[in-house]
Structure 1
């Protein structure tokens, strides 16, 4: 075997073990007995130790040195790029620290869920304090003498920096605030009313998942406190949640997670269990979940189809017709929850989280001050007070599991989705007619062929530019939002 062949064989085993670790996380959030949490923490720490040892194995460095990259094709060079990046990162983070982070975040996740259910911030703060300290240590190790938050961000969006995020968000924020103010001056549309059987929601949500192209032979839909997608290749699972009074929570959480899952299912099978066999970044990942959920799932055309299916499933929805249903789906209103936020206000939720987690990582605020800082910032940004912790600082799972640097990728995903949607509309001129018939095939096929199949082959900005024909820009997203909500609210 050549050095490249040996390296790829070793990497394949490492990728397989990583999938097992992900499956443990899926099990923990779906069906694991609550009393198993301490043992699961030990299991995940043990497996993380094995993975860290493999990623930092000196043989990887030897193989990387021995490979003649000039003789490789574009795929081979990309594989080496990703392996080298993981190797260099792993060698900066001590193995004991990596294992401890895995153990503590596994335990913290369960404590977060319990604290959220009990509306008890104080019960969660001690373990969150430990998570924050561990992640600061990890960030310092990764950053060397650079910015800790930039090092964390690079884990989820390679090449992105806090300074560049400030530029992007600075370009978006004034337009979003202005649009929100104009919309909220107009009368709010009627929302859905009634009670919606939760088992019927799950039946319909599985149907909708398949309509959006989710391959149930290689996936499944379960319930969790916080919806998520897990896995890649031949085993990609999603979760959703239900509310008897809000079926949109279930349906649009599902469509969002199907976007993630479809990206993973759509990657070239030749990349299975290699570094290229997963999404290239979380921003690009979010571009898929957001375009599935919003530009496609909340479009006027698709809402007409969904109104028919929901009426068949639940009877009277409390709205008179498809036009009223479309308005209800896209209602802009006061709210607290990021995952339920309308398209106009969603990115404002992300900006709040970005600023708070940067302050946490830099030591500018302490964990003990986090709830007050959240509530103060929320009131300033949204104009009303947080009513309870589950609607505030306890609403998201991300900090409990150490995902600092992750939140900005949601907003980046919206920016990328705006670029992709503009290109999709040009490439598929009959899109609205297809969506109105519940036919997502042409849209999802275009996304698979132009973006999803590439997996990690191209850098994030490059894959967006290749698919959309333009460098990432906030302009298409802002134009889409102004046109859509200007029409909805007669601005």
Structure 2
């Protein structure tokens, strides 16, 4: 075997073990007995020790030095393996294992603290997570910016300063649009009770409508919706609320966007560095364009209105136009995942600034709840009423995902660029969506984004697909046009 072939065989085994670790995480979020948490923490630590040893194996460096790729794909494989190897060797094995152990345990502690509305029960373990992640960031940064090192895990070749500049450009227009919209009469909200089993049945129908292949996936329930896996086993979760079926339906569509990306990647890349989404920003571009530009469009909501009438009977919304306004209702709320398109990115900016301060040591964990509540009041104009609506609402920090939050808004920015190109590429898009047919849109996204997996760098894949340099203008223009029409601005 050549050095390149030996390296790729080794990499496939490492990727397979990584998928097993991911499956343990899926199990923990969905069906694992609560009492199994301490043992699961040890299991996750054990497999992370094996993974870290493989990722930092000296043979990888030797193979990289000797490998001679024959084409663009081979060069991209080596680029991603080298990037991962260079990061892995900077992190001590015992630190990687300790992070895996504490984040597995912290996830259960967070879930219980959230249910009990008890921040004090969560802060001690979060203190440990932050301390260990900061040590990891310092090891990776080697004297550079710790938060930049964290972001690199989720959005390669992007810095905190670059993200902050994008957010600074977005914030004034988002704040102005929100103020204008909230000054207008609010569309009717849903009211009444919606059977949760029926919600799950319709959610499954929506998943299939957006191209999710259930032969290689499944839909389950979790506290916090997520997508897990890649290649031939890609699973999603959603959640239900008896009074809010939109939570279930749009969480499902969002997670299908993630899953469709993974299912759409060229199978030749299976269990290689190119065989998964290139970044969380590009991942979010898929989930957000599925959820918002497609799923909340006037055309598709007309179809969904008929589906809900068929499933639940008359639920108090007069017609498809009123339903479209209800789906896109801009209103006060605390929960990021339930936020409307106008305000969603403001929720992300809050988290971005707080976690950046935590990693820099400018904000202590003991100060987090007060800092969150003060910032929320300043940004949204009303006070957080309980911890589960505040700093305990998201799972991310408990599992050590510092640097992840800004990718949600980067995903929105990328989705704005892609949607502008998609409308030109699928001229009869609205007519298709009105029939509940997303195939034209999803095929375009599969061709221009999803099939490539990690072949191109994040901004490069968006540039290639959209034909423009990625930036927030298409997203902001889309939001201003859409909500001006809905609210008569």
* Normalised TM-score (structure 1): 0.99
Aligned mates of 1:221, 1:317 — CA distance in 2: 25
Gaps of 5+ in 1: none
**TM-fit CA distance, 1:341:** 0.3
Aligned mates of 2:9, 2:298 — CA distance in 1: 48
CA deviations 1:83-126 (Å, max 9, x no partner) are 10111110000010001100000000011000101101000011
Alignment of 1:143-158 (within 5 A): 143-158=141-156
Alignment of 1:256-275 (within 5 A): 256-275=254-273
Aligned mates of 1:332, 1:274 — CA distance in 2: 42
Aligned mates of 1:460, 1:91 — CA distance in 2: 24
**TM-fit CA distance, 1:316:** 1.8
3-state SS in 2 of match to 1:399 = helix
* Corresponding residue number in structure 1 for 2:53: 53
Aligned mates of 2:3, 2:361 — CA distance in 1: 44
**TM-fit CA distance, 1:473:** 1.1
**TM-fit CA distance, 1:315:** 1.1
* Corresponding residue number in structure 2 for 1:91: 89
Aligned mates of 2:10, 2:140 — CA distance in 1: 24
* Corresponding residue number in structure 1 for 2:430: 432
3-state SS in 2 of match to 1:305 = helix
Aligned mates of 1:150, 1:61 — CA distance in 2: 24
Give yes or no for contact 1:191–1:318 (8 Å, CA) kept in 2.
no
Q: Which one of 173, 176, 179 corresponds to residue 177 of structure 2?
A: 179
CA deviations 1:46-74 (Å, max 9, x no partner) are 000000000000000110111124xx200
CA deviations 1:203-225 (Å, max 9, x no partner) are 00000000000000000000000
Aligned mates of 1:239, 1:166 — CA distance in 2: 31
CA deviations 1:394-434 (Å, max 9, x no partner) are 00000000000000000000000000000000011100000
* Corresponding residue number in structure 2 for 1:364: 362
Aligned mates of 1:387, 1:318 — CA distance in 2: 29
Aligned mates of 2:160, 2:254 — CA distance in 1: 26
CA deviations 1:142-178 (Å, max 9, x no partner) are 0001000000001100011111111100110000000
3-state SS in 1 of match to 2:397 = coil
**TM-fit CA distance, 1:134:** 0.4
Gaps of 5+ in 2: none
Aligned mates of 2:316, 2:401 — CA distance in 1: 39
Alignment of 1:236-385 (within 5 A): 236-385=234-383
* Corresponding residue number in structure 2 for 1:22: 22
* Corresponding residue number in structure 2 for 1:4: 4
Aligned mates of 2:118, 2:160 — CA distance in 1: 32
Q: Which one of 454, 478, 481 corresponds to residue 483 of structure 1?
A: 481
3-state SS in 2 of match to 1:98 = helix
Give yes or no for contact 1:301–1:433 (8 Å, CA) kept in 2.
yes
CA deviations 1:328-366 (Å, max 9, x no partner) are 100000000000000000000000000000111111111
* Corresponding residue number in structure 2 for 1:471: 469
* Corresponding residue number in structure 2 for 1:457: 455
Deviates further, 352-361 or 314-323: 314-323
Aligned mates of 2:67, 2:242 — CA distance in 1: 57
Give yes or no for contact 1:428–1:443 (8 Å, CA) kept in 2.
yes
Aligned mates of 2:314, 2:141 — CA distance in 1: 56
Q: How many residues align?
A: 489
Aligned mates of 2:110, 2:322 — CA distance in 1: 38
Q: Which one of 211, 214, 234 corresponds to residue 213 of structure 1?
A: 211
Deviates further, 59-68 or 329-338: 59-68
Give yes or no for contact 1:156–1:406 (8 Å, CA) kept in 2.
yes
Aligned mates of 1:409, 1:105 — CA distance in 2: 20
* Corresponding residue number in structure 1 for 2:109: 111
* Corresponding residue number in structure 2 for 1:63: 63
Aligned mates of 2:189, 2:317 — CA distance in 1: 7
* Normalised TM-score (structure 2): 1.00
Q: Which one of 396, 399, 414 corresponds to residue 398 of structure 1?
A: 396
Aligned mates of 1:11, 1:473 — CA distance in 2: 34
